C-alpha cells in the first residue's frame, strides 16, 4: 500500500510540472495563463509576453518590456524601477508605499484588503506584474 501511495504521489507531482497556471480577477474570470516555460497567454491563447528564467520580460516580437530582479524589484522597459515585491508577498511602489499583497494561497488584495483576483501557484513577483504593474 505504501508503494502505491508513493507512486501516486510521484505521478501527481509529474502531472503538476509543466502545467500552466491561471490568473483570475475578483469574479474568478480568466485573465491570462502562465505556462511553465514563462509564456503568458490571454483568453484567446494569444501570446502576451514571455518571462525568461533571468526575469527578463519580452513581448511576442521579442522586444524588451521590463524585468523582475531576484530581489523582487520590477523594472520597466527604460530600466526605471516601478516597485518591489517583498518576500512576504507585499507589493510596494518606488516611494515604498504598500500597493497590496499576494498571499501564499494566490489571493491578491489591494492596500485596503479588497480582493483584486487570484494567481494560484504563480510566484508573487510575477503575479504582481498583472495586478500592480500592468506590464501585460
Write the CB contacts of 7 (distance below 8 Å, at least 6 apart in sequence): none
CA 49/CA 38 separation, integer angstroms: 8
- In whole angstroms, what is the distance from residue 81 CA to residue 34 CA? 23
- Rg of the chain over Cα atoms, rounded to whole angstroms, equals 16
pTM metric for this prediction:
0.80
Among 86, 66, 83, 88, which Cα is nearest to 132's? 83
Percent of the chain with pLDDT over 90: 81
Question: Which of 135, 95, 106 has its CA nearest to residue 25?
Answer: 106
pLDDT tens digit string along 13-35?
333 344 569 999 999 999 999 99
Amino acid at each position: 500500500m505504501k508503494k502505491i501511495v508513493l507512486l501516486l504521489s510521484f505521478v501527481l507531482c509529474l502531472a503538476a510540472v509543466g502545467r500552466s497556471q491561471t490568473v483570475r480577477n475578483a469574479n474568478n474570470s480568466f485573465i491570462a495563463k502562465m505556462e511553465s516555460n514563462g509564456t503568458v497567454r490571454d483568453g484567446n491563447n494569444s501570446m502576451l509576453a514571455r518571462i525568461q528564467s533571468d526575469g527578463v520580460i519580452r513581448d511576442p516580437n521579442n522586444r524588451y518590456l521590463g524585468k523582475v530582479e531576484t530581489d523582487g524589484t520590477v523594472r520597466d522597459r527604460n530600466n526605471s524601477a516601478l516597485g518591489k515585491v517583498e518576500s512576504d508577498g507585499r507589493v510596494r511602489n518606488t516611494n515604498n508605499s504598500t500597493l497590496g499583497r499576494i498571499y501564499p494561497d494566490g489571493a491578491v488584495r489591494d492596500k485596503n484588503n479588497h480582493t483584486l483576483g487570484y494567481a494560484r501557484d504563480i510566484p508573487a513577483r510575477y503575479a504582481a506584474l498583472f495586478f500592480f504593474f500592468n506590464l501585460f
